[in-house]
């Protein structure tokens, strides 16, 4: 597939800033370029980065970080309206509890904690994703969705969006895994993760099994994706058509 625009924007202060455009969606209509972006946090953008972001016409940012988590790294672009849709970092809470209890931790166990955190998106945080889709149905584009690393909460949110637009599952997973190519742990975040390298490597990467765990939880809790869209995210058939009209090429 030939991209009309660069998918990854090489910003100095946001290494995982990407465009969701160009993917084939429902009825062969592609996702519109330069409307939906995903990223890690936007607190460390350089002056040149800010000029790029402003050039994209970004109007809104949807911040999925927890309440305290976001306080030290707020968006530094004054003319972007930030909407906080907090999802607490379940993986970090689980790690802290385990370490405080003096329990040993392996890379395999860390990966399972990651999968459990993805299940938690569905089981305990659907309200935040429902609110996000409510915003997507309003006039906020071009917009960016982000968390701290732009890989887990943001990754699941963007997978849901692409599913709603009819993008093939294999393509959605491919987009999700691009984080492994682009994300690099910044020094400030690294200081909050005083962990062995094999544990840190799991925490700063993504695996298809992580995303699969969230969709497994959807099947368990709701019976399937269509029911989750309707009952969990509150998307009527008309709302789904409106999303397609907004974010797919005409």
CA-CA distance, 250 to 247, in Å (whole number)? 9
**Residue 85: count of CB within 10 angstroms of its CB:** 21
Q: Does residue 147 carry a catalytic annotation?
A: yes
Do β-strands 18-19 and 60-63 pair in parallel, antiparallel, or remain unpaired?
A: unpaired
| Alpha-carbon distances, residue 201 vs 69, 129, 180, 205, 245 (angstroms) | 21, 27, 10, 6, 40
Residue in 75, 147, 158, 240 annotated catalytic:
147
CA distances for 60 relative to 53, 56, 79, 83, 198, angstroms = 11, 11, 9, 7, 36
Q: How far apart are the first and last CA of the chain?
A: 19
Q: Which residues are catalytic?
A: 147
């Amino acid at each position: 597939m030939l991209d009309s625009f660069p998918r990854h924007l090489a910003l100095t202060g946001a290494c995982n800033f990407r465009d969701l455009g160009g993917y084939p969606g429902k009825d062969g209509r592609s996702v519109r370029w330069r409307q939906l972006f995903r990223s890690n946090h936007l607190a460390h953008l350089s002056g040149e980065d800010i000029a790029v972001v402003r050039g994209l016409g970004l109007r809104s940012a949807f911040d999925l970080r927890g309440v305290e988590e976001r306080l030290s790294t707020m968006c530094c672009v004054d003319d972007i309206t930030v909407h906080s849709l907090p999802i607490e970092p379940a993986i970090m809470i689980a790690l802290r509890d385990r370490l405080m209890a003096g329990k040993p931790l392996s890379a395999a166990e860390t990966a399972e904690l990651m999968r459990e955190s993805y299940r938690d998106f569905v089981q305990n945080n659907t309200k935040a994703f429902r609110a996000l889709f409510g915003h997507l149905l309003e006039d906020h584009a071009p917009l960016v969705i982000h968390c701290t690393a732009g890989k887990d909460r943001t990754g699941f949110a963007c997978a849901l969006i692409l599913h709603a637009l009819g993008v093939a599952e294999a393509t959605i997973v491919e987009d999700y895994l691009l984080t492994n190519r682009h994300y690099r742990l910044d020094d400030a975040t690294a200081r909050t993760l005083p962990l062995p390298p094999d544990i840190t490597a799991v925490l700063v990467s993504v695996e298809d099994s992580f995303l699969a765990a969230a969709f497994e939880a959807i099947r368990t809790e709701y019976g399937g994706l269509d029911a989750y869209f309707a009952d969990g995210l509150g998307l009527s058939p008309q709302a789904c058509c409106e999303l397609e009209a907004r974010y797919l090429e005409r």
